[in-house]
Structure 1
């Protein structure tokens, strides 16, 4: 049992302990609404940080969808190139998941709220929804390439505009992580769509 000293007495008063019981089913109001900022002393003005969070959240939503597409197609891959594509798509998915985390943490470090709930992501993304079932392998790869291109266009524009605003931290993240990783993954995917003979020149 814990003890406490009351203001009216120097005798210890016994306080009940919970016995380690979790306090379940808690509810409460949001402490920060999506689309708002808290003040952080990072040397960037409110408007710049607000704009950065908006642009980063757009890229973040699309990147979360791209990650999910990679996992979906990793699971549903088939055919003669199954093994190599199955492994490659999973490796690409891991890299995209790392970018998701980096983008979300950047939004938080700017004082914003990162989009995290999949249902909210679905409202913000520009990447078209795929069929629920299985598509042909070239179609799945083309769908990934389309998602990459959408993200790369958005990331390039956001990086240029945020650099002009003085937000070099967000610009560096977009260029070094989103754009460079995306470009490399596009290269690997696109080369699997080249129609070339395997055994005869």
Structure 2
């Protein structure tokens, strides 16, 4: 383990950036990006949990579907974190900080029936979509068109995944198990 004690940049600070975005604007955008980053990781962990615990008649397809969805969440998170750093900020990290910064809430450690888990996921997707739209508007209004563009691309993927969840939740899917006594 490193014995280095020098802090190069404290968390929750924004330094000058080479992108020539005024520090006050960069601070607002980095704050929004850190919320989006935290949301992405809450979603990631919930989807990962569902990937691990899914069972039933549609196990294989849904196991792979959850994997694809959590990979999308992680890819988006990586882009968001790198953009926050490029703007002079420190990407939020660590489970406690992520939980505190997120505007969405993890469903908890319990395992639910498949339909409930997917409804919880779809609800979280909806909350993230609304939050990302607000962050896109903020970045656009502050003149950070590159961040707005990046978030739009991530939003497209988030909306597409949400749409797939919606399809799985249609009435004629997710085979219901009959209780046997």
Query: Which residue of structure 1 lines up, in the alignment, with residue 162 of structure 2?
Result: 186
SS of the aligned residue for 1:50 comes to: helix
- Paired residues in the alignment total 174
Matched, 1:109 2:86: yes
SS of the aligned residue for 1:185 comes to: helix
* Larger helix share, 1 or 2: 2
Structure 1 stretches of 5 or more lacking a match?
1-23
TM-score by length of 1: 0.82
Matched, 1:172 2:149: yes
Following TM superposition, by how much is the alpha carbon of 1:31 offset from its aligned partner in structure 2, in angstroms?
A: 2.1
Displaced runs of 4 or more, over 2 A? none
Deviations 1:37-57 (A, max 9, x none): 121231211111111100000
Deviations 1:117-149 (A, max 9, x none): 112101111222323121110111011111111
Q: 1:155 aligns with which of 132, 137, 141?
A: 132
Query: Which residue of structure 2 lines up, in the alignment, with residue 97 of structure 1?
Result: 74
Query: Which residue of structure 2 lines up, in the alignment, with residue 119 of structure 1?
Result: 96
Query: Which residue of structure 2 lines up, in the alignment, with residue 68 of structure 1?
Result: 45
Structure 2 stretches of 5 or more lacking a match?
175-181
Cα separation, partners in 2 of 1:136 and 1:40, compared to 1, 3 Å: same
Provide the rounded CA distance (Å) in 2 between the counterparts of 1:81 and 1:143: 18
The one of the two structures with greater contact order (alpha-carbon pairs below 8 A, sep at least 6) is 2
TM-score by length of 2: 0.91
Matched, 1:36 2:13: yes
Following TM superposition, by how much is the alpha carbon of 1:114 offset from its aligned partner in structure 2, in angstroms?
A: 0.1
